[in-house]
Structure 1
């Protein structure tokens, strides 16, 4: 009998474990398979309680519908889908304007599958520009290096994949980011560029892009070395332009030394997963040899991404968000996230065992804290493991490089994470610490 006439959970495929290693021989009804796969997905975590990710976990029905429409549109095929291609360019010009490019209408950039691809394209442009400059002077190009502060793993991948020495500037004791002056000793004639991070993965604070550029300006004045800057604004690129207390931070194309910027549309850009952006200050900052032209899709099309075929849905969804929210809507959402982070920081700051290092004021929405030095008998890894039993996903890890002795916990706030949820999280952390410290008190409810 066909699956169409049998109750879902009485079908042959439902009466045994779903295939995991081989494609099954027989076909089955879509309703049956849909429900069985949906059941598997129920075992995933709850996105609302995932406080370790920067990525968008809330979408509205209209965005979902546009994603569905875009799922069959191949963004690379600009001849067949010219309007989708125009929408991508609309987004690029909007971002160029947001990030103060000299001429937003002449901006050059591309969407990517995420900020990691965007970062690698920015890094490749730096390397090719450095190589061209060195060859024009008759100098060797054997030992390129890239100077960064503590960075997300994508930059380590870039250096490994594209044979660039990575020089990582350590964080000073008691600080949460690299100091601009500390970049200088790592720079030489083989430095292809410097990458400050505008919203550190580890501590959520902004590195001082303007300060780094000032150090490089002085270096050029004294030595003639002209070192470009690429800003990794994966998260901060969609926060600072909209948060009232951060709008005056100068980090983007207002700084002449900033040649390129990457950001994640699928993080605080509020687009669904699978979208990054990279923009260059001027067309001359993107080497021609990184641009390829293809004619086998029906027209002569330029492409300068590492990826090729991909659906247009996430780009269309980003455009929808720009139109639907506007600057006012983005400001309301990001200000709310910042406020929720400050609310949580206030609750955790009352715990005598915790030392709040970052309180969601001058960087990304979220909280970073550590155990006070006089606390022993348990670690933040113990806290992290036990909050999982309440459904919460948090991130506990040591600070980078010379600060490995300091273990911190990071809690991120995104659109859809409410103060009510954060009050519940704080209560759970309080009760867990009580148990770990073996304090003979009953569970408490926070006022």
Structure 2
């Protein structure tokens, strides 16, 4: 696969063209690309990535986006609608996370550009609040945060960008964090601890209630990363699936990140960060009152933002409503259960932990990437993992289409004996674990990068706690 598959089909712009191209010519080129790339996920064989998969829904959001795409939401005097959209998105998300259970403080929220951005803002809020309230300003050592090994790399990125020390707690065979291990890593400079509901890799939910108790006992805030599960797990709980409380009903939960651009079925580029106490939200505000250009006030790291994304997110949420989200969750959870049953029907395969709508499986009989190799030839695109090698499926709307589960069952039934034969022959698998997918057929540039990263990791690989034994 080429890094530039369109290079020989369409013009390559290495400089601004001397004369602009006709709009219809540009649109025809873009329509071709979009149609070919949509075909990849429309089959339903792509893990995660496309959460709605409904082109009518996308057309509706496109129309809404177009009405406000050109608007800068910084200019609230010119576009007061942005205040309505943003305020109501936050209010609806807080309601979903049971902010009504909060006493003695005022819940609040923030709209960000995605899960990583929400996590970054949460850690920024923790750092600034700890400096202001607890005097942890770095003068006696770097502030630290404690995350499970399975928590998203966005926490590692946040620690890097914010100058925080990152402490990693091991997970159990159930792929969930050990609260005692988290407690053992907390000290006087700990500004926050983390739990996932659910984690990206395995779809399992950390023991949030126990982590909340640790947070209360040690006087530190607890962030729940619900970026993946935030807008579907509440409906799974309502449907009777085993989803323990992970939101503001749990004492000690201080902030929650939940992505509207995943199971909220909005466009990519929006997420919510919710606060039990607005004092944490206010702590990460930035003000510069002495600038010659005027008093500068910023509620988040981002400056200018398109009103289109906020409007489209609001439109998605009010279009679906609770009943719509519940029905989509019903289809997704039931599909996930059938796919997990298909995996369990093969004794050579093993599901990791007790997952929800997103599940991961491995094998003790062969390298699971042999299965990924075979399934890729049938059009399946899984996400890959390591320590141990595993592949996962985040079930979304496209997987609920008729006949898709049956196709998964049939293809998997052929993939297992293929993997057994490859292992018996001593052949290596072709796929590898790359975030966002199981990569195969890497180009030279990408392969060189992966090789460099893997070389750097050799010295630390043995120290990484396994996700499961």
TM-score range, shorter chain: 0.7 to 0.9
**Cα pair distance change 1:167/1:30, threshold 3 Å:** same
**Which deviates more from structure 2 when the two are superposed, residues 121-130 or residues 299-308?**
299-308
Match status 1:395 vs 2:387:
no
Match status 1:78 vs 2:76:
yes
Deviation (angstroms), 1:16 = 6.8
Show the counterpart of 1:46.
40
Show the counterpart of 1:410.
392
Show the counterpart of 1:329.
324
**Cα pair distance change 1:395/1:146, threshold 3 Å:** same
Query: Matched residue of 1:227: which SS?
Result: coil
Q: Which has the larger radius of gyration?
A: 1
Show the counterpart of 1:155.
155
8 A Cα contact 2:174 2:354, kept in partner: no
TM-score for both structures, normalised by structure 2: 0.78
Aligned-partner Cα distance in 1 for 2:354–2:339: 8
Counting only pairs closer than 5 Å after superposition, residues 59-78 of structure 1 correspond to structure 2 as 59=54, 60=57, 61-78=59-76
Query: Matched residue of 1:393: which SS?
Result: coil
Counting only pairs closer than 5 Å after superposition, residues 426-441 of structure 1 correspond to structure 2 as 426-438=409-421
Counting only pairs closer than 5 Å after superposition, residues 1-400 of structure 1 correspond to structure 2 as 17-44=10-37, 46-48=40-42, 49=44, 51-59=46-54, 60=57, 61-101=59-99, 102=102, 107-135=107-135, 140-149=139-148, 150-172=150-172, 174-217=173-216, 220=217, 225-243=218-236, 244=238, 245=240, 249-288=244-283, 290-292=285-287, 302-357=297-352, 360=355, 363=356, 365-371=357-363, 373=364, 375-376=365-366, 379-398=367-386
Unaligned runs of 5+ in 1: 1-13, 399-403, 440-447
Deviation (angstroms), 1:123 = 0.4
Aligned-partner Cα distance in 1 for 2:321–2:105: 19
Query: Matched residue of 2:317: which SS?
Result: helix
Deviation (angstroms), 1:232 = 1.1
Query: Matched residue of 1:196: which SS?
Result: strand
Deviation (angstroms), 1:55 = 4.8
Aligned-partner Cα distance in 2 for 1:17–1:248: 49
Aligned-partner Cα distance in 1 for 2:299–2:174: 38
Deviation (angstroms), 1:246 = 5.3
**Cα pair distance change 1:306/1:395, threshold 3 Å:** same
Query: Matched residue of 1:35: which SS?
Result: helix
Query: Matched residue of 2:128: which SS?
Result: helix
Cα RMSD, aligned residues only = 2.9
8 A Cα contact 1:135 1:141, kept in partner: no
8 A Cα contact 1:109 1:278, kept in partner: yes
Unaligned runs of 5+ in 2: 1-6, 423-469
**Which deviates more from structure 2 when the two are superposed, residues 302-311 or residues 198-207?**
302-311
Aligned-partner Cα distance in 2 for 1:304–1:317: 21
TM-score for both structures, normalised by structure 1: 0.82
Q: Encode CA deviations 1:391-430: one digit per residue, 9 max, x unaligned.
A: 22101211xxxxx2x2221011112322521321232222
Deviation (angstroms), 1:113 = 0.8
